[in-house]
Amino acid sequence: MRTTVGIIGAGPAGLLLARLLHNAGIESVVLESRDRAYVEQRQRAGILEQGTVDVLRAAGAAERMDREGLRHDGIELRFAGKRHRVDFPALTGGRSVMVYAQTEVCKDLIALQLKQGGPLLFEAEALAVEDAESARPRVRFTYEGREDVLECDYVVGCDGFWGVARKAVPAELSRVFERTYPFGWLGILADVPPSHDELVYARHDRGFALLSMRSPAVSRLYLQVPQGTDAQAWSDEEIWDELERRFATDDDWRLRRGPITSKSVTPMRSYVHEPMRHGRVFLAGDAAHIVPPTGAKGLNLAVGDVVTFARALAYEKETGSSELLDAYSETCLRRVWQAERFSYDMTTLLHRDPDATPFEDRIQLARLERVATTRAAETDLAEGYTGFPLE
């Protein structure tokens, strides 16, 4: 099998890249190790930055998002019993975010790829990326019970942290930067309308809590829990009671309760692999970087990576110059590190470290007070949350 761009992974990054390349007249083949049902049901991110929304619209992949997604013009911060709303458009020149689940983004992009795009092979497991430094890198993979080879001009690894693409970068050239946090998120989906019309980020002495949503009828909520917590060890009633404590305010706001349909624990870590390119192999999304979910950056960073690659390859096609492809890693990493910084700031702003001293608790509250009372600090948060520019 032969193509211009071999894409490993049919998450939102790989699928969007295939769509962008199709629109630019560039051939691609997408290899996905899981079946279609798994990809379309995989619960992940739900917040799309302004830039991601704009890219999906320009790619012709936003019809259902614009119909069913929930535009949000702000978030609410809660601490010390107080509530403070951060108004995104007023602070960023009109930018906002969209609540639209990753599962729905994938469904939309899969449908478009199968109808209009190149081959999308489910249950095609990539085994290795070979000859990265040659003009014809190859992806060995299994499909329908036999081993095959995909020959490419370029390979883009959108195959996540555990994928094979990153292994194509020699260990002696790799640099890894990471941080593991001593807590995670216990997340639930509940069949109950959200208790607030925007996301609520709560800092409490007992730990962080987040009120989010998937639709006007389905709530998504999170609790900070110790690292290694078993989600099933928490009863539904205990979860609702703890959420109520952490979201408590000095006014008459109340948390709506309903049937919990799923619960899971997400670990919290920061990770960056440099470089994001070796030869003709390019890394995108979780294959190259991971952020704690506090800043809602994971999916959006992956979008930035594949937009950068698609623009660079289209530029080479039009001009014959590899200048933008050669700058891919450096260009992406500038945005990645700003997002890592923002996610770290949001995480340390809102989560209580289990070993925090009273001094550190007061510093945390002082940081929140500054956001709530200083336009410069509030603007920095709003600009980071709605997204850094796609270069």
Beta bridge partners of 74: 87
Residue among 12, 137, 292, 293 flagged as catalytic: 293
pLDDT digits (tens, 9 = 90+) for 316-342: 999 999 999 999 999 999 999 999 999
At residue 216 the predicted structure's pLDDT band, cuts being 50, 70 and 90, is: very high
pLDDT of residue 45: 73
364 with 335, same domain? no
At residue 46 the predicted structure's pLDDT band, cuts being 50, 70 and 90, is: confident
Residue among 100, 154, 181, 201 flagged as catalytic: 201
CA dist., res. 17 & res. 250, Å (int): 47
At residue 26 the predicted structure's pLDDT band, cuts being 50, 70 and 90, is: very high
48 with 108, same domain? yes
245 with 308, same domain? no
Residue among 154, 181, 328, 385 flagged as catalytic: 385
67 with 215, same domain? no
10 with 130, same domain? yes
In a domain, 80, yes or no: no
243 with 294, same domain? no
pLDDT digits (tens, 9 = 90+) for 249-285: 999 899 999 999 999 999 999 999 999 999 999 999 9
Residue 43 scores a pLDDT above 90: no
Residue among 273, 297, 328, 351 flagged as catalytic: 297
62 with 164, same domain? yes
- The pTM for the full model equals 0.95
- Rounded mean pLDDT of 100-123? 96
Q: CA torsion sign, 260 to 262 to 265 to 268?
A: negative
Residue 302 scores a pLDDT above 90: yes
pLDDT digits (tens, 9 = 90+) for 339-383: 999 999 999 999 999 999 999 999 999 999 999 999 999 999 999
Residue 168 scores a pLDDT above 90: yes
Catalytic, 385? Answer yes
Cβ–Cβ under 8 Å, residues 59 and 16: yes
48 with 121, same domain? yes
Q: Mean pLDDT over all residues of the chain?
A: 96
CA dist., res. 330 & res. 341, Å (int): 17
Q: Of the candidates 288, 320, 325, 285, which has an alpha carbon nearest to the alpha carbon of residue 308?
A: 325
Catalytic, 293? Answer yes
In a domain, 219, yes or no: yes
Catalytic, 201? Answer yes
CA dist., res. 81 & res. 64, Å (int): 38
pLDDT of residue 388: 87
Catalytic, 72? Answer yes
Give the strand pairing for 28-32 and 82-87: unpaired
pLDDT digits (tens, 9 = 90+) for 87-101: 999 999 999 999 999
User: What's the half-sphere exposure (Cβ side, CA atoms, 13 Å) at 373?
Assistant: 7
What crossing angle do the helices spanning 12-23 and 102-116 adopt, rounded to 10°?
A: 40
pLDDT of residue 209: 98
Share of the chain above pLDDT 70, in %: 99
pLDDT of residue 221: 96
Catalytic, 115? Answer no
Residue 391 scores a pLDDT above 90: no
In a domain, 92, yes or no: no
Cβ–Cβ under 8 Å, residues 220 and 214: yes
CATH for 380: 3.30.9.10
- Number of domains making up the chain: 2
Q: Of the candidates 273, 257, 241, which has an alpha carbon nearest to the alpha carbon of residue 195?
A: 257
Residue among 22, 72, 204, 273 flagged as catalytic: 72
**Domain extent at residue 105:** 5-72+97-177+269-346
Cβ–Cβ under 8 Å, residues 314 and 24: yes
Cβ–Cβ under 8 Å, residues 299 and 102: yes
